[in-house]
Amino acid sequence: MDTLHESHFPHTPRPMTDQIDTLLTEQRSFSPDASFQEAALGAADLYAAASTDRLAFWADQARALDWITPWKEVLNWTLPHARWFDGGQLIVAANCLVRLLHGPRRQKAAIMWDGEPVDRRVYTYWDLAREVGRAANALKTLGVTKGDRVAIYLPMIPEAAIAMLACARIGAIHSVVFGGFSAESLRDRINDAEAVALITADGGYRRGQVVPLKRFADEAVVGCPSIRDVIVVRRVGGGEGGASETFASMTEGRDHWWHRLLEHASADCPPEPMEAEDILFILYTSGTTGAPKGIVHTTGGYLTHTTATTKYVFDLKDEDVFWCTADVGWVTGHSYVVYGPLAHGATIVMYEGAPDWPDRDRFWSMVATHGVTVFYTAPTAIRAFMKWGPSYPAKHDLSTLRLLGTVGEPINPEAWIWYHEQIGKERCPIVDTWWQTETGGIMITPLPGVTTTKPGSATKPFPGIEAELVDAQGRPMAGGGGFLTITSPWPGMLRTIWGDDQRYQETYWSRFPGRYFAGDGAKLDEDGYWWILGRVDDVMNVAGHRIGSMEVESALVDHPSVAEAAVVGKAHDLKGQAIAAFVILKEGQTASPSLRDDLRDHVVGKIGAIAKPEDIFFCGDLPKTRSGKIMRRLLKDIAEGRTLGDTTTLADPAVVSRLKEMYGEE
Ligand code: 7RM
């Protein structure tokens, strides 16, 4: 295929795994389900409306929110900077909470939460609004004001959503850091955003163990001059003076127990009106350099996009119970645990722990207990369920389910079919939703009741989203394999990278001028269906988590024994990709199994457990181009045991054949 030749473009899209090769020959298709006809009626019009007048379509979607001042202009676009609904003012917390408060539905469940041990809590919309008001007042008494950054480092407990909404209520910008990240990762993110406060917990539960978040937070915060206050939710400790002491030692003057602050705070906190383009949050995500990027999302457009997609993709009705299994530390948790569903007044399910605790049926037992109707998870989880076998879901009544979704990585057709048969009992449509931290909300997806689905394809762009496949030169392609680009701005798009607009322009808008380039390769089939092939840049996708190759490399070379490192994602049955590291040791250092363990621990300490390399291969040389660039593509071939691709641009082609011979022998 000439258009995708390596010499034209260093990052050739190609399937992440062999499974995806089978995905490309997938012929099965599933017609829309008749029970979604009502959704279908509305949605068919949506495509027509959006293609006739895209801006009018998005303005219609924005009108579904409550605005206190109408916008003056739907879109102001000066490539690559968009302003949506400029001049408009709205109150996020009002849109997400208060809508139900003054009607008969105020005691409707907002959050049904399960802790990993058998504890359970239910917050009605009334409860939630009061807790958010209290938390907002608590932040205010600590001097947090509009525009300040607040870091949130919590387990999946209701306080995570409450903290986010409390920030939104006073106009503070939240930066949620996934609880699986290390102290060092937390510190870097706090410092980049110059957060003034950190909200954390004494710990959280994961597979029966306590994750001591407060200890990590303490370690991080000593290196964070901007942090004035640390607020600590008591999750694992008993009473004060009780077990919690072992997980949280409190620093006088800096640390405050959440429950103490809230006890004295009024539930009544007048909300800060937000301009449509005021920043709602920053969320850090991995890119192709060692340093994560602070993705900036604003208020009006983001809420419009997440609300519209929640409505049409998940077909949410008042009586639905929606469970998105993502952690709030990721964008999926922001958009489809918190903002989208709560703006709809939906009942959501939240879960703290692991899917196999206390046993491998935990998710299905929760579906049955809470009567979940719409379920949204990641392919990596589905592949694990598949491996565990059908007896676990079979133990529970899953008949309340009516719609299933996936997100985070390409889904192989076999996992799709398994999900369809074993979980959806062949009754539930599956929405495979493609989007990114940067896009804010769902971009390519089927609509239930409307779209014929094909296992492994995310199908078509959401109404109002314009995607185009291009070749290496940026020429539009009608079909075949190429690069996925977005050709016009959308409301939920990132506005910039925090503190680095230059990097924003270069990363997303320069490779194909005038287009947003998402970093993914894709194919378009003869029906115009999108098949996402995965990242074509140096970003890995490990169990649905985005990790930059360079990040792991930086962590490795930070170790005193390491001279150089190259890191690639290799195909993995369950995780999609696993991390494979090629390491050159410094003069005088000797490779050993204990050094290998040491390096793994070092990476975990620098980044977090999600970045732990599966393979560490000690070598004497790395394949490099004549200009000195490491050819990770070839290392990937080696790690996956594939025949080597084109090696003609290498400075020393012998290096790579030596590596290939040795790899796997250890
Ligand atoms: C929501 C989220 C984004 C990357 C993206 C893709 C991959 C996500 C799908 C998918 C195939 C999907 N945000 N990706 N969804 N690939 N099909 N339905 O995951 O910023 O963390 O990751 O994830 O490579 O670029 S993210």
Whole-number Å distance between alpha carbons of 73 and 69: 12
Whole-number Å distance between alpha carbons of 393 and 355: 12
Percent pLDDT > 90 in the chain is: 81
Ligand 1 pocket check for 569: Cβ under 6 Å? no
What the chain holds in terms of domains, given with CATH numbers, is 539-663 (3.30.300.30)
Atom of ligand 1 nearest to the CA of 411: 17
Ligand 1 pocket check for 518: Cβ under 6 Å? yes
Whole-number Å distance between alpha carbons of 400 and 391: 18
Task: Return the pLDDT at 666.
Answer: 53
Task: Return the pLDDT at 16.
Answer: 45
Find how far residue 374's CA is from the centre of its chain. Answer: 19
**Protein residue with least CA distance to atom 10, ligand 1:** 409
**Protein residue with least CA distance to atom 11, ligand 1:** 410
Ligand 1 pocket check for 331: Cβ under 6 Å? yes
**Measured between alpha carbons, how far is residue 363 from residues 366, 423, 474, 579 in Å?**
5, 11, 44, 27
3-state SS, one letter per residue, for 149-208 = EEEEECCCCHHHHHHHHHHHHHCCEEEECCCCECHHHHHHHHHHHCCCEEEEECCEEECC
Answer yes or no: are the C-beta atoms of 404 and 428 closer than 8 Å. yes
Res 33 pLDDT > 50 = yes
165: exposed, middle or buried (Cβ count in 10 Å: 0-12, 13-18, 19+): buried
**Which band of pLDDT confidence, cut at 50, 70 and 90, is reported for residue 664?**
low
- Mean pLDDT, residues 543-570 taken together: 94
Task: Return the pLDDT at 242.
Answer: 47
**Measured between alpha carbons, how far is residue 144 from residues 229, 234, 256 in Å?**
10, 21, 14
Res 558 pLDDT > 90 = yes
Q: Which of 215, 191, 219 is nearest to 202 (CA)?
A: 215
The contacts of residue 664 (CB under 8 Å, 6+ apart) are 641
Ligand 1 pocket test, candidate residues 435, 483, 533, 537, most atoms within 8 A of CB: 435
* pTM for this model (two decimals): 0.93
Distance 544 CA to ligand 1 centre (A): 7
Ligand 1 pocket check for 546: Cβ under 6 Å? yes
Ligand 1 pocket test, candidate residues 412, 532, 545, 575, most atoms within 8 A of CB: 532
Ligand 1 pocket check for 351: Cβ under 6 Å? no
3-state SS, one letter per residue, for 456-504 = CCCECECCCCCEEEECCCCCECCCEEEEEEECCCCCCCCCEECCCHHHH
Task: Return the pLDDT at 246.
Answer: 66
In single-letter form, the type of residue at position 121 comes to R
Ligand 1 pocket check for 458: Cβ under 6 Å? yes
In three-state secondary structure terms, 135 is: helix
**Protein residue with least CA distance to atom 17, ligand 1:** 410
Ligand 1 pocket check for 407: Cβ under 6 Å? yes
Task: Return the pLDDT at 23.
Answer: 58
**Protein residue with least CA distance to atom 18, ligand 1:** 434
Ligand 1 pocket check for 410: Cβ under 6 Å? yes
Ligand 1 pocket check for 541: Cβ under 6 Å? yes
Strand-pair category, 516-524 with 81-86: unpaired
- Mean pLDDT, residues 90-105 taken together: 79
Ligand 1 pocket check for 436: Cβ under 6 Å? yes
Following DSSP, what letter does each residue of 604-644 receive, concatenated?
HHHTBGGG--SEEEE-S---BBTTS-B-HHHHHHHHTTPPP
Ligand 1 pocket check for 434: Cβ under 6 Å? yes
Distance 664 CA to ligand 1 centre (A): 30
Whole-number Å distance between alpha carbons of 23 and 37: 29
Q: Across the chain, what does the average pLDDT equal?
A: 92
Answer yes or no: are the C-beta atoms of 199 and 153 closer than 8 Å. yes
**Protein residue with least CA distance to atom 5, ligand 1:** 436
Res 263 pLDDT > 80 = yes
**Which band of pLDDT confidence, cut at 50, 70 and 90, is reported for residue 238?**
low
3-state SS, one letter per residue, for 247-313 = HCCCCCCCEEEHHHHHHCCCCCCCCCCEECCCEEEEEEECCCCCCCEEEEEECHHHHHHHHHHHHHH
Following DSSP, what letter does each residue of 373-423 receive, concatenated?
-EEEE-HHHHHHHHHH-THHHHTS--TT--EEEE-SSPPPHHHHHHIIIII
Task: Return the pLDDT at 654.
Answer: 84
Atom of ligand 1 nearest to the CA of 433: 18
Res 21 pLDDT > 80 = no
Ligand 1 pocket check for 408: Cβ under 6 Å? yes
Ligand 1 pocket check for 532: Cβ under 6 Å? yes
Res 540 pLDDT > 70 = yes
Angle between helices 632-639 and 653-662 (to 10 degrees): 20
Ligand 1 pocket check for 352: Cβ under 6 Å? no
Ligand 1 pocket check for 451: Cβ under 6 Å? no
Res 243 pLDDT > 60 = no
Atom of ligand 1 nearest to the CA of 519: 25
CA quadruple 153, 158, 162, 165: dihedral, nearest 10: 90
Please give the helix or strand (H or E) that residue 244 lies within, else none.
helix 244-247
The contacts of residue 577 (CB under 8 Å, 6+ apart) are 16, 17, 540, 541, 542, 569, 570, 571
Task: Return the pLDDT at 240.
Answer: 47
pLDDT digits (tens, 9 = 90+) for 425-474: 999 999 999 999 999 999 999 999 899 999 999 999 999 999 999 999 99
Atom of ligand 1 nearest to the CA of 410: 11
Distance 577 CA to ligand 1 centre (A): 13
Atom of ligand 1 nearest to the CA of 330: 21
**Which band of pLDDT confidence, cut at 50, 70 and 90, is reported for residue 24?**
low
- Mean pLDDT, residues 271-275 taken together: 94
Ligand 1 pocket check for 519: Cβ under 6 Å? yes
Whole-number Å distance between alpha carbons of 524 and 531: 6
pLDDT digits (tens, 9 = 90+) for 409-435: 999 999 999 999 999 999 999 999 999
Ligand 1 pocket check for 200: Cβ under 6 Å? no
Give 516's strand partners: 486
- Mean pLDDT, residues 192-221 taken together: 97
**Which band of pLDDT confidence, cut at 50, 70 and 90, is reported for residue 342?**
very high
**Which band of pLDDT confidence, cut at 50, 70 and 90, is reported for residue 41?**
low
In three-state secondary structure terms, 30 is: strand
Atom of ligand 1 nearest to the CA of 544: 19
pLDDT digits (tens, 9 = 90+) for 376-395: 999 999 999 999 999 999 99
- Mean pLDDT, residues 482-491 taken together: 98
Answer yes or no: are the C-beta atoms of 57 and 463 closer than 8 Å. yes
- Burial of 463-497, coded b for 16+ CB within 10 Å and e otherwise, reads bbbbbbbbbbebeebeeebbbbbbebbbbbbbbbb
Distance 408 CA to ligand 1 centre (A): 4
Ligand 1 pocket check for 361: Cβ under 6 Å? no
Ligand 1 pocket check for 409: Cβ under 6 Å? yes
Distance 435 CA to ligand 1 centre (A): 5
Look-up: residue for tokens 């895209």? 54
> Rounded to the nearest 5°, which phi and psi values hold at 105?
-95, 10
In single-letter form, the type of residue at position 213 comes to L
Whole-number Å distance between alpha carbons of 240 and 49: 58
Find how far residue 504's CA is from the centre of its chain. Answer: 19
Ligand 1 pocket check for 285: Cβ under 6 Å? yes
Q: Which of 537, 576, 569, 536 is nearest to 552 (CA)?
A: 569
Distance 56 CA to ligand 1 centre (A): 28
